[in-house]
Amino acid sequence: MISMIEQYRKLMAGFAEAAAGPTNAQYEEYEQFRQKMIAGWAQLDSSERSGVIVELLEIHDANFWFLGELKCFVAVLCKRDFRFPLEMAVRAVKAMGRWPFGAPYQHVFGAIEGLDLVPELREELLQLRSAVNRMRIGNVEAMDWHQRINLLLGETPTIGESARGSWLKKVLADSIGNAQWAALLEHCGEMSGSVASKKWSVTAKDLIGRLERQEFLSRSMEWLDMGPTMEDRDVTVPEPDASYQKGFVWCVAIDGDGQMASHLGDFAVGCYRKITGLGAVSQKVGNASIQALAAMPGLVPVAQLSRLAGSVKYDMGRRLIEKSLNEAASRNGLSRDALEAMSVPKLGLDANGVRIERGESWEGYLMATAEGGLLEWYQAGKLVKKAPTEGKELKQAKKELDGLLDAQRFRLEGMLLSRSEMSGVQLRELYLEHPVVGVHARRLIWELDGVPVIAWQGQMIEVSGAVRPLLPEARVKLWHPVEWDVATVLSWRCWFEDHPVRQPFKQAHREVYLLTEAERETRTFSRRFAAHIVKQHPFAALCRERGWTYKLMGDFDSHNNAVRVLPQWGLEAVLEMDYGNPKHQPAVGILMEARTGNLRFQRNREAVCLEDTPKGVLTEVMRDVDLFIGVSRIGNDPYYGMESSAMNADYWSSYAFGDLTEAALVRREVLERILPKLSIGKVCQIEGRYLHVRGKLHEYKIHLGSGNVLMGGSGRYLCIVQNASDVAGRVMLPFERDGVMETILSKAILLAEDGKIRDETILKQLRA
């Protein structure tokens, strides 16, 4: 085994010498060696195993590859039941002192726990701690070493000693000299899991009761509003601090005051905020916050859970929210949609969606609009930019209003899939007349006793303009075009194009996906979306946003499929995924590209025939998949087309300018209607897959699927990376959130006046 250690060292030295990283051959050799060593490990006794690990640690080679691989390797060798003999423990700790940070200290310390603290071991631990202390400040890993060494030495730190993050330090500073707060915070630090036990909760309730009520609420509000890391935007919550934060959010939940729900919701949002390269600020505290909200009484916390459902992207958090909302609905004897509708707060807004606050010399107006919350301040009748110091409560309400408007848009669009029904009185009170939900609901088509209607000028009207009374006992659901004939759908599309109403999401213009003959023949799967090459990271982000589960694939695991669970239908939608082109992937880590496969439905892991899947479910799932591919496929990357030698260049060409998808066909139909109304209409014409634009210098073709541009008769590719964010304000589209449509219009407006272009990157291509 010792000879194998030398072989291991030589392999790692080879890794370090490879300037461009280890080759595939080196990795194969290492993997064969690794499997051989693990197999031999099983034949060694405890003493021999300890010797192998210590020999590895005593190499203390600081090269990057050795350090990374050693960490993984020792993790495999140090199983949970493994313990060093005392003599080897002393040698292991001593060897650790010569290591740079990044060594496998967690596994080594785990193999020392429970041993007698003999003088030799204690001395080496003290020496190691002394070395660590010199590097503690600003080094999170060093802090973890220090904490583990303290525990091995049997030293229990005080709250102040264990505080690392800015949040806990501020909380401790605020409560200095107050024995009641000190007792409560100490109890918070004893919180281990994400859910408070009954015994822990009883003690917490008693400790909260010893504090003055208003002081507890004001302090809690202040500490929650600081966020989990205060102003430190690029750090995660340190592990010791996380226990105190989990305990604290549960104290807020146990107290049960409804006004704290929005502050707790904001704290949870802060916990799930993603830091580039590090992940969430703290999933553990975020998960605890969700379960604390779920434990609070009343419907106010439900609104916060509904809001989080649209913003939390981490799988565990999403599952906890789903579970909490379903349990709350069952507890109240309501459907999920009814529960969420009843729980949306009005935030003090009147029937017109306006809230007015007045001070001695100022007035504040908060308004719910289609674009979000609008907050204006006036002094002496004049609009001012600076908010008064007394306007903190209105600013908090504006922040909450923005989150609620986004959450309600997301929830309403979900009703196209759930197909839940309600009464006429519920539609009026919980949707149309609600100051928050009504901002979106009044711009949607509703199916009223089987007749599609919309709220217009205070009445419910049909597409013909005929008024239809909204009776209390009427049966209502959100209208979906898949259930209606083409003539009715086209009539409603024309209505929106002729009226100044912009839908919060595509409804009248929503893409509809019907089964093809090929899909009827395959019966249980569809190949409609197969063989596309997508960029993995944006694909995964879109999956999370639309409620799908997908884990990024790397060279370290097998295939991961994208899955959408549909509990209300007892179904699961599965989009099979495979590796992309292996030549276009990094040597290690997450793959940059992936390839799509078949789409299928299953119930209890058994395939479901596509023809047996409800039409609404089929079209909504296929629309999601089309969206994922349409946005993340490499055919949309304008830079990809500039390199004819790039991997997958043939695929890029075929899809960057290929046949139009359902979404692109709808886009073409809308453009045909709105172009004559625009200033560029005279120089634009739609032919087949392209929008043709006649500029002053050249003619151009903009593909209606990808938004990519070809120049005139030469067909030369023109790379334009255009900011489309301001197009929505200049062009009245009948729906929100079609980024490709806005990009196409933005490029058309630019190219129609190509003589005024000043961007050198574009000009060089035009002159070539």
229: helix, strand or coil: coil
Average pLDDT over residues 531-553: 89
Token pair, residue 252, equals 């807020």
Closest CA to 366 of 399, 344, 406, 390: 399
* Secondary structure letter of residue 504 according to DSSP: S
pLDDT per position as a tens digit, 584-608: 555 456 788 889 999 999 999 899 9
pLDDT confidence of residue 138: 42
Alpha carbons 107 and 99: distance in angstroms, whole number: 14
Instruction: For 723-763, give the DSSP string.
Output: --TTHHHHS--SBS--HHHHHHHHHHHHHHTGGG---HHHH
Alpha carbons 420 and 409: distance in angstroms, whole number: 16
**Is the per-residue pLDDT at 136 higher than 50?**
no
User: CB of 731 within 8 A of CB of 724?
Assistant: no
Q: How far is CA 571 from CA 115, 258, 288, 612, 617, in A?
A: 52, 36, 29, 11, 9
User: CB of 288 within 8 A of CB of 246?
Assistant: yes
pLDDT per position as a tens digit, 313-359: 888 888 899 888 888 888 777 788 888 888 888 989 998 899 999 88
pLDDT confidence of residue 728: 43
Token pair, residue 634, equals 């490499």
**Is the per-residue pLDDT at 724 higher than 60?**
no
Alpha carbons 9 and 27: distance in angstroms, whole number: 14
Identity of the amino acid at 334: L
User: CB of 67 within 8 A of CB of 102?
Assistant: yes
| Range with top average pLDDT, 31-35, 281-285, 336-340, 669-673 | 281-285
* Secondary structure letter of residue 657 according to DSSP: S
What does the H/E/C string look like for 143-204?
HHHHHHHHHHCCCCCCHHHHCCCHHHHHHHHHCCCCHHHHHHHHHHCCCCCCCCCHHHHHHH
pLDDT per position as a tens digit, 95-127: 877 765 556 677 778 788 878 888 888 888 888
Alpha carbons 47 and 87: distance in angstroms, whole number: 10
Identity of the amino acid at 115: L
Residue 319: partners with Cβ closer than 8 Å, 6 or more residues away:
none
Identity of the amino acid at 106: Q
**Is the per-residue pLDDT at 501 higher than 60?**
yes
Alpha carbons 124 and 121: distance in angstroms, whole number: 5
pLDDT confidence of residue 292: 94
254: helix, strand or coil: helix
Angle between helices 166-174 and 213-225 (to 10 degrees): 160
pLDDT band at 59 (very low <50, low <70, confident <90, very high): low
CA triple 312-316-318, angle to 5 deg: 40
Range 214-221, long-range pairs (CB < 8 A, 24+ positions): 216/255, 217/255, 217/257, 217/259, 217/260, 219/174, 219/175, 219/181, 220/248, 220/251, 220/252, 220/255, 220/260, 220/263, 221/260, 221/263
Alpha carbons 354 and 366: distance in angstroms, whole number: 6
User: CB of 222 within 8 A of CB of 175?
Assistant: no
Token pair, residue 643, equals 């390199």
pLDDT confidence of residue 134: 62
Strands 525-526 and 593-603: antiparallel
Alpha carbons 529 and 671: distance in angstroms, whole number: 25
Alpha carbons 704 and 630: distance in angstroms, whole number: 11
**Is the per-residue pLDDT at 666 higher than 90?**
no
User: CB of 57 within 8 A of CB of 10?
Assistant: no
Alpha carbons 580 and 592: distance in angstroms, whole number: 8
Alpha carbons 92 and 58: distance in angstroms, whole number: 8
Token pair, residue 759, equals 């961007």
- Which residues are registered as beta bridge partners of 595? 533, 578
pLDDT per position as a tens digit, 157-197: 555 555 568 898 888 888 887 888 988 988 998 888 889 99
The neighbour count for residue 591, using CB atoms within 10 Å, is 18
**Is the per-residue pLDDT at 757 higher than 90?**
no
Angle between helices 64-77 and 2-17 (to 10 degrees): 140
pLDDT confidence of residue 715: 72
Average pLDDT over residues 698-725: 78
pLDDT per position as a tens digit, 229-269: 988 878 888 877 888 999 999 999 999 998 899 899 999 99
pLDDT confidence of residue 645: 46
Average pLDDT over residues 387-395: 86
Token pair, residue 181, equals 């707060």
Instruction: For 92-155, give the DSSP string.
Output: HHHHHTTSPTTS-HHHHHHTTTTS---HHHHHHHHHHHHHHHTT-TT-HHHHHHHHHHHHHTTP
User: CB of 276 within 8 A of CB of 198?
Assistant: no
User: CB of 165 within 8 A of CB of 229?
Assistant: yes
pLDDT band at 612 (very low <50, low <70, confident <90, very high): very high
Phi, psi angle pair for 563, to nearest 5°? -130, 135
Q: How far is CA 662 from CA 366, 494, 652, 665, in A?
A: 40, 19, 19, 5
- Which residues are registered as beta bridge partners of 718? 709
Identity of the amino acid at 409: R
Chain centre distance of CA 349: 30
The neighbour count for residue 259, using CB atoms within 10 Å, is 9
Q: Is the dihedral of CA 678, 681, 685, 691 positive or negative?
A: negative
Residue 631: partners with Cβ closer than 8 Å, 6 or more residues away:
538, 542, 739, 740
Least confident of 106-110, 625-629, 763-767: 106-110
Pick the more confident residue, 380 or 277: 380
Closest CA to 410 of 334, 308, 323, 481: 308
> What mean pLDDT value characterizes the chain?
83
Pick the more confident residue, 131 or 748: 748
Alpha carbons 279 and 275: distance in angstroms, whole number: 5
- Which residues are registered as beta bridge partners of 374? 367
Alpha carbons 185 and 188: distance in angstroms, whole number: 5
pLDDT confidence of residue 225: 92
**Is the per-residue pLDDT at 75 higher than 50?**
yes
553: helix, strand or coil: coil
Alpha carbons 268 and 314: distance in angstroms, whole number: 12
686: helix, strand or coil: strand
Average pLDDT over residues 483-508: 92
Q: What percent of the chain has pLDDT over 90?
A: 35
**Is the per-residue pLDDT at 572 higher than 70?**
yes
User: CB of 430 within 8 A of CB of 342?
Assistant: yes
HSE value, Cβ hemisphere, 13 Å, CA-based, for 164: 22
pLDDT per position as a tens digit, 429-451: 999 999 999 999 999 999 999 99
User: CB of 478 within 8 A of CB of 447?
Assistant: yes
Chain centre distance of CA 716: 38
592: helix, strand or coil: coil
Alpha carbons 22 and 15: distance in angstroms, whole number: 5
| Run of H or E residues at 416 | helix 392-418
Compute and round to an integer the Cα radius of gyration of the chain: 31
Q: What percent of the chain has pLDDT over 70?
A: 81
Q: How far is CA 584 from CA 218, 536, 588, 628, 707, in A?
A: 55, 12, 12, 21, 24
**Is the per-residue pLDDT at 426 higher than 80?**
yes
CA triple 420-424-429, angle to 5 deg: 95
Average pLDDT over residues 418-439: 93
**Is the per-residue pLDDT at 400 higher than 80?**
yes
Average pLDDT over residues 7-11: 61
User: CB of 108 within 8 A of CB of 74?
Assistant: yes
